[in-house]
Structure 1
Amino acid sequence: MTRPSEHASKPGGRLNALVVEDSPPMRKMIVFALSRIRELSVTEADDGVDALRRIASTKFDIIITDINMPILDGLKLVKRLRADEAYKDVPIIIITTEGAEEDRQRALALGANAYITKPIQAPQVIALVRETLGVDGS
């Protein structure tokens, strides 16, 4: 379930993605998958606080985040981003082990555009990011 992005038509240049994940192997897998989207430049953050630091200095077109992270979890990050005028409409995809329907509904109610549960496959992530950003696969 996704809500379409208004960021697909960024003229001349690459789109910036932020991957927020505290597990280095999972973060590397997501970054590797996203590296197949040539229009995308990917930045990594290892928790919500690190993400906020990176957001302070770079404008991102899409954010992919885990929920269960130390210090500032993914749901609190979504809530803070949606309260920020610069990020209120930026697509946010949650990738998490939390598979309960109430967790999904809470994340979507807070403003996430999409919610997928681990384990994930690279083609699934690529397709979802392309769909969310409106980037074709050619």
Structure 2
Amino acid sequence: CIKCYEDNVSGKLSDEMFMRFSGKYEAERLELKEKISAYRKRLSEVDEMQLGKEKFIAAVRKFMQMDKLTAPLLQELIDRIDVYEVTGTGKNRKQQIKIHYKFVGYLELPSLARQHNYREETRKGVAVEYVPNALPA
């Protein structure tokens, strides 16, 4: 825009054309400034996600090395657990849960891991079963 100013001063460019070019330049400058701000914000979010991923991996590594599950470890690893309404009665009684991990949220298991249900008898008369894709969104 400096060249436009020089041309305007020397008379090569009319005041009207100078104002038009100057306005376009200013609009473009503001648009680029907004884009830079948006890109910086997105970069910050990506950095935060990377840090969260690293913290989650560190917490999972601790979990894998422990012989006993402790409350502090659960608090470090899990953000919240959504517990859904009980359905059915007696042996057909079921209750779904959804675990949201800190730093990464709810994790879907890869399709290979979801081919079969996983069932574990936790104590007499009580079983826990992982049923793929059964949870509400």
**TM-score normalised to structure 1 length:** 0.23
RCO higher in 1 or 2 (8 Å CA, sep ≥ 6)? 1
| Higher Rg of the two aligned structures | 2
Decide which structure has greater strand share. Answer: 2
Greater per-residue helix proportion? 2
| TM-score normalized by the length of structure 2 | 0.23
